[in-house]
């Protein structure tokens, strides 16, 4: 698309990410916590087995990060205020944020919003638009006015670039990475800096002599396909070049399954207790699938033994069901398919639902 005979307008994707979202919601409820190192995780008790859900910027300065054992986080930051997770409060705040984003117009036109989770979303105009920075600032101001929460916005020619750019702009900022600036911004960074590449993949790439984004972009895609796989190898090569063809999808996410899990404060050695826990978790998961209005077609379990050995098992039901007794019995049946030679640290039950009308 061109305007007045000029060059084509760029298509922009924006990524909105709430700054320290969970911690920020807690500070709104308890203003006296502003500026203090704040950790949210589990039931707020660092003597229990739980992990950090989020840490405020002040706590992060002590080396505290999401996913860290709560006990370790408390040792790293003894001065921290530790609060329990309050999912309903975060869901309510997120709903307001996403409604605010969906209500925005870019130069008078609506935008598509793809929700990624409680605290982040992609946005894109349906037609090319100018001045994405001004629209990014509009988004930041609108979210702040509606929720009193701050966010950062990344801008790119695609979702990959926008997602990565957001981290450059944090906190409370706007940053842009484009096709033209990709290698200037990313070329010398390690492959782990790419959205979609974790520690294990980075290690596999390093074994091929690929350590940086530029090296990945300049690598032989045939070697990547042979060593990593015919699908993933070329995909990683595209990531290295900053290429992402996926579109911003405004359709609401339709879950395929719901699951519940529990980390036991003391390892369970009595398998009668493990079986009862499986039934309890199945009942809780049934409430989730009932809210979707679709019965379960498959049941799965996850068992983590002491110290961290994890096994999974699953089965297809003779017919779909949302009967807690039937699904609990299926979970117990699956427990009979694992070795019972060590204590159980964690148990999870997953219910995979029938497809919605029209499919996924």
Just list the catalytic residues. Answer: 120
The three-state (H, E, C) secondary structure of 15-36, written as one string = EEEECCHHHHHHHHHCHHHCCC
195's CB contacts (< 8 A; 6+ apart) are 160, 163, 164, 239
Can you name the residues that pair with 241 across neighbouring β-strands? none
The CA distance from 296 to 325, in Å, is 13
How far apart, in whole angstroms, are the C-alpha atoms of residue 167 and residue 175?
8
Place of tokens 């992990």: 51
Q: SS3 of 312, please?
A: strand
Phi, psi (5° rounding) for residue 336?
Answer: -70, -10
Structure tokens at 236: 């990683």
Closest of 132, 126, 90 to residue 111, by C-alpha? 126
∠ at Cα 24 (20, 27), nearest 5°? 145
Write phi, then psi, for 77 (nearest 5 degrees).
Answer: -135, 80
By DSSP bridging, strand 109-117 and strand 120-125 are antiparallel
Pairing of strands 109-117, 151-156: unpaired
User: DSSP letter at 248?
Assistant: P
Residue 360 host element (H or E): none
What three-state secondary structure class fits 51? strand
């Amino acid at each position: 698309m061109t305007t007045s005979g000029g060059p084509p307008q760029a298509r922009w994707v924006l990524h909105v990410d709430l700054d320290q979202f969970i911690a920020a919601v807690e500070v709104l409820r308890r203003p006296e916590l502003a500026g203090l190192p704040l950790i949210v995780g589990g039931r707020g008790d660092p003597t229990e087995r739980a992990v950090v859900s989020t840490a405020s910027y002040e706590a992060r300065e002590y080396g505290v990060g999401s996913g860290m054992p709560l006990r370790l986080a408390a040792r790293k930051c003894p001065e921290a205020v530790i609060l329990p997770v309050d999912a309903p409060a975060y869901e309510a705040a997120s709903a307001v944020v996403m409604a605010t984003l969906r209500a925005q117009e870019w130069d008078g036109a609506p935008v598509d919003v793809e929700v990624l989770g409680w605290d982040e979303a992609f946005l894109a105009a349906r037609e090319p638009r100018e001045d994405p920075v001004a629209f990014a600032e509009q988004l930041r101001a609108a979210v702040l006015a509606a929720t009193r929460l701050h966010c950062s916005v990344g801008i790119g020619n695609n979702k990959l670039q926008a997602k990565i750019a957001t981290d450059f702009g944090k906190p409370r900022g706007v940053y842009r990475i484009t096709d033209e600036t990709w290698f200037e911004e990313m070329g010398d960074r390690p492959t782990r800096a790419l959205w979609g590449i974790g520690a294990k993949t980075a290690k596999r790439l390093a074994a091929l002599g690929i350590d940086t984004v530029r090296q990945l972009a300049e690598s032989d895609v045939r070697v990547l396909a042979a060593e990593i796989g015919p699908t993933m190898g070329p995909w990683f090569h595209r990531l290295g070049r900053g290429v992402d063809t996926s579109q911003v999808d405004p359709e609401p996410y339709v879950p395929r399954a719901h699951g519940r899990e529990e980390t036991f404060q003391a390892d369970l050695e009595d398998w009668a207790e493990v079986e009862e826990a499986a039934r309890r978790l199945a009942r809780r998961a049934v409430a989730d699938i009932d809210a979707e209005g679709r019965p379960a077609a498959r049941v799965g379990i996850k068992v983590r033994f002491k110290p961290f050995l994890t096994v999974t098992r699953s089965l297809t039901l003779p017919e779909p069901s949302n009967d807690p007794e039937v699904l609990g019995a299926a979970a117990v049946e699956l427990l009979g398919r694992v070795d019972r030679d060590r204590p159980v640290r964690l148990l999870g039950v997953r219910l995979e639902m029938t497809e919605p009308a029209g499919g996924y």
